[in-house]
Amino acid sequence: MTLFRRQSSHQLQTVEDRLQEVMDKAGIAVSAAESCRSVAAKLLFFAEESERARAERNALSVLRFQSMRARESDIVQAYLERYEWIFSADCKWNFLEWLRTGDGIFWIAGRAGSGKSTLMKFLYYHQRTKERLRSWSAPRELVFASLLFWGSDGYRMKKSLQGLLQHLLLQILEQIPRLIPIACSCRSRPIDHMASLDPWTVEELERALSRLIRSEETQARFCFFIDGLDEQAHDVGNTINILKDIVSTSSAKLCVSSRPWNTFETHFGRDLSLRLDLHDLTEGDIRHYVEGRLAKCAKSSRVKELDARYKALVNKIVDRAQGVFLWVHLVVDSLLRGLENGDYINELEARLETIPDDLDDYLTQMFDRIECEKRLEGAQILLMLCEPAIGSLPLFTITAFEGSWCDTRKALQADLKSSGKGRSSKTRWFWLHDWTLGAATLWP
């Protein structure tokens, strides 16, 4: 921008000198000359503003990265109503009050697969959350931003500290574009056209977020929802300290979810009024989920009516779940397959007994049960589903890639329009299920 201004100023002076020579020879009045200079100055101003706007857009564009919005649409929609209890007036956790008047950090703790991501999405998109936050921020503007981590290699940027800060800063600037110049002023180099294309550093991102949150110029208050902080790839402790510093003001607060690791207990767990242990609260929700899914299977009514042990089977699932919804989802899938095969209650009980209580052990068992000749290709399928370019596609479409799993590029170049040809949709679904023993169906 500085170089552009020097060049433009030189050109303007040259034009003015030539105009002055012409007007002197023609005897044009001074007032007319001043008018010409005024017009030229305005043109220069508009040119500078245009160049500055382009530089700011470029600075904003480098905040974006592939898979930035990934996982936000990956949470299963079914049974979201099970979390309505958090908004009830008699709820002993003061989450609603924290939204409306609180500050600092509210921690949602839960074991892997306990439904933390589903709850965070439910809260983030719920209208009552936004209503309470607008009441908290008034009369200032509300900036409400979120980030969901993902633990696969295809999301390296998003689960890094830089990805976290970039994602938050981009959402702030998208919601209030007038803050772009303030954020760009925190960069180490002047915001000219070339420098604005340079990647932001972690230090620049920290400075920009801190200034936006603390400056009176912004006239806004900020609330951030960060899900799965335990999936952050590097120094979790350092990330926590940076986030705590960013929200250490009355203008900002943070809701974060993670597994109940010691480092999170140390930083977030001391104030019991600002934590919620999800895995201890979901017994009724899990029972509702199990009964609801089994009830949808026509053959379950035969077992339910003829054998009183059906209720005991449901109770055993709930007791063994330990609040882990993903384990429950997989167990119910297994029982439903048994019902479809004509299993009776004693066979369903035996099936349940073979399933480990630990989620990781169960996933390992599922993979070990894949036939040896299908295991390599099944692993390739699961790895490809972790890639943003493929994992975001519906499974119906992904089955069109059959035969191309070993070559990711070939799969990505496949003609998706052919997904309706060849195998029927039901056949392709069972082919994908067979190659991964149901693990691939965890993808939406």
The pTM of the full predicted model, rounded to 2 decimals, is 0.69
Residues 365 and 390 in one domain: no
Work out the average pLDDT over 220-239: 88
Q: Which domain holds residue 96?
A: 80-278
Cα 25 to Cα 6: distance, rounded to the nearest angstrom: 29
Residues 359 and 304 in one domain: yes
Residues 333 and 186 in one domain: no
Question: Is residue 204, in this structure, part of any structural domain at all?
Answer: yes
Domain boundary among 263, 278, 293: 278
Number of domains in the chain: 4
Whether the Cβ atoms of residue 435 and residue 370 lie closer than 8 Å to each other = yes
Question: Is residue 74, in this structure, part of any structural domain at all?
Answer: no
Residues 197 and 84 in one domain: yes
pLDDT tens readout for residues 119-176: 898 899 899 999 999 999 999 999 999 987 544 434 555 578 888 999 999 999 989 9
pLDDT tens readout for residues 255-310: 999 999 999 999 998 888 899 988 777 788 888 889 888 887 766 666 665 567 88
Residues 292 and 314 in one domain: yes
Residues 43 and 113 in one domain: no
Question: Is residue 68, in this structure, part of any structural domain at all?
Answer: no
Among 26-30, 313-317, 366-370, whose mean pLDDT is lowest?
Answer: 26-30
Q: pLDDT-derived band of residue 49, with 50, 70 and 90 as boundaries?
A: low
pLDDT confidence of residue 406: 46
Q: How far is CA 56 from CA 51, 59, 178, 185, in A?
A: 9, 5, 11, 10
SS (H, E, C) the chain: CHHHHHHHHHHHHHHHHHHHHHHHHHCCCHHHHHHHHHHHHHHHHHHHHHHHHHHHHHHHHCCCCCCCCCCCCCCCCCCHHHHHHHHCCCCCCCHHHHHHHCCEEEEEECCCCCCHHHHHHHHHHCHHHHHHHHHHHCCCEEEEEEEECCCCHHHCCCCCHHHHHHHHHHHHHHHCHHHHHHHHCCCCCCCCCCHHHCCCCHHHHHHHHHHHHHCCCCCEEEEEEEECHHHCCCCHHHHHHHHHHHCCCCCEEEEEEECCCHHHHHHHCCCHHHEEEHHHCCHHHHHHHHHHHHHCCCCHHHHHHHCCHHHHHHHHHHHHHCCCHHHHHHHHHHHHHHHHCCCCHHHHHHHHHCCCCCHHHHHHHHHHCCCHHHHHHHHHHHHHHCCHHHHCCCHHHHHHHCCCCCCHHHHHCCCHHHHHCCCCHHHHHHHHHHHHCCHHHHCC
Cα 149 to Cα 156: distance, rounded to the nearest angstrom: 9
Among 103-117, 238-252, 294-308, whose mean pLDDT is lowest?
Answer: 294-308
Question: Is residue 35, in this structure, part of any structural domain at all?
Answer: yes
Residues 362 and 316 in one domain: yes
Q: Among 225, 275, 250, 216, which Cα is nearest to 137's? A: 250
Q: What percent of the chain has pLDDT over 90?
A: 27
pLDDT tens readout for residues 348-404: 999 999 999 988 888 888 878 777 777 777 676 666 666 554 445 555 555 555 555
Cα 49 to Cα 2: distance, rounded to the nearest angstrom: 12
